[in-house]
């Protein structure tokens, strides 16, 4: 529990610091990854945010070694509140009433998924079949990259309203969902006896390679999205997709049984459907500020009609 709360704090602080650093940098794009990396590495504030995220990754490894997947996701949900508070305090971001209702509905949906867990379940799964993991993760990675590219093409259209970042959040959330499953797989290999044998078994598994892919692409995609969109919206959307993806597909992949109680099964299905419906209904564009009406020059006489 303490490791999960620490991971929440480190992740929220890391995203906010990176967003603040990106605000003072020139525009970055996924089409120029080398330039993006050169710019962010030269920012001490961004380095601090990335170190905070790396520490959160270490705390997440501890969580997955001691808690079931879905239970861990339920605790990670609490990080949304801290993220919104930090964004308002440090970034000056304000959410609209519709977005606050949507975030509350997403939180309710995730809590419904958590409540669908088996009561008193403390067992932690030890592994999953590699072909099943690849069958789940590879299409998810392809879908995330395709969705991100589609959002990029739409935002390049002239006269298009600024995007809120929902599409970016869903795309990056899919990559981070795969990364979360890979972290779970790595944590299961770390429990084996013998460092040499555990390392050899880990290298034979798909988990380190999934982490490398999601780490490289997730870094570039998330930084470009963070610079263009509000952290108080894109990060909660990304977190929602990641938590739902990990809780549902991770539970199935790592052999945790679905609830036999009809009420718990209904909670899981309804929570997933609610989260998807809220994501689809969230605004895709930010409103542009209304142009100020031109003021007459000082000293000019006001003309009155005859």
Domain ranges of the chain: 1-281
What is the pLDDT at residue 74? 65
Mean pLDDT for all residues in the chain: 77
194 membership: H or E segment, kind and range: none
CA-CA distances (angstroms) from residue 46 to 96, 123, 237?
27, 38, 22
What is the pLDDT at residue 302? 45
What is the pLDDT at residue 126? 62
What is the pLDDT at residue 226? 85
The parts of the chain modelled with pLDDT lower than 50 are: 121-122, 159, 288-304, 306
- Quote the pTM value: 0.73
CA dihedral 208, 220, 134, 106 (to 10 degrees): 110
């Amino acid at each position: 529990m303490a490791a999960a709360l620490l991971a929440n704090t480190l992740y929220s602080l890391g995203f906010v610091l990176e967003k603040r650093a990106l605000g003072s940098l020139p525009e970055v794009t996924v089409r120029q990854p080398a330039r993006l990396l050169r710019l962010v590495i030269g920012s001490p504030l961004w380095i601090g945010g990335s170190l905070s995220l790396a520490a959160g990754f270490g705390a997440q490894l501890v969580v997955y070694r001691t808690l079931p997947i879905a239970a861990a996701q339920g605790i990670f949900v609490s990080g949304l509140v801290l993220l919104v508070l930090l964004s308002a305090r440090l970034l000056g971001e304000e959410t609209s009433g519709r977005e606050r209702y949507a975030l509350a509905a997403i939180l309710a949906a995730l809590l419904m998924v958590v409540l669908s867990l088996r009561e008193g379940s403390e067992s932690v799964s030890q592994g999953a079949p590699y072909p099943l993991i690849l069958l789940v993760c590879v299409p998810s990675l392809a879908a995330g990259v395709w969705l991100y590219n589609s959002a990029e093409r739409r935002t390049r259209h002239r006269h298009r309203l600024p995007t809120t970042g929902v599409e970016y959040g869903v795309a990056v959330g899919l990559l981070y969902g795969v990364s979360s499953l890979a972290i779970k797989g790595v944590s299961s290999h770390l429990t084996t006896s013998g460092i040499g044998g555990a390392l050899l078994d880990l290298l034979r598994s798909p988990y380190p390679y999934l982490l490398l892919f999601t780490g490289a692409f997730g870094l570039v995609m998330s930084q470009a999205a963070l610079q263009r969109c509000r952290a108080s919206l894109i990060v909660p959307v990304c977190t929602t997709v990641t938590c739902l993806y990990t809780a549902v597909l991770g539970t199935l992949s790592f052999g945790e049984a679905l609830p036999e109680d009809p009420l718990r099964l209904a909670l899981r299905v309804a929570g997933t459907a609610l989260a998807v419906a809220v994501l689809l209904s969230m605004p895709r564009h930010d409103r542009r500020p209304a142009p100020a009406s031109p003021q007459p020059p000082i000293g000019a006489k006001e003309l009155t009609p005859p």
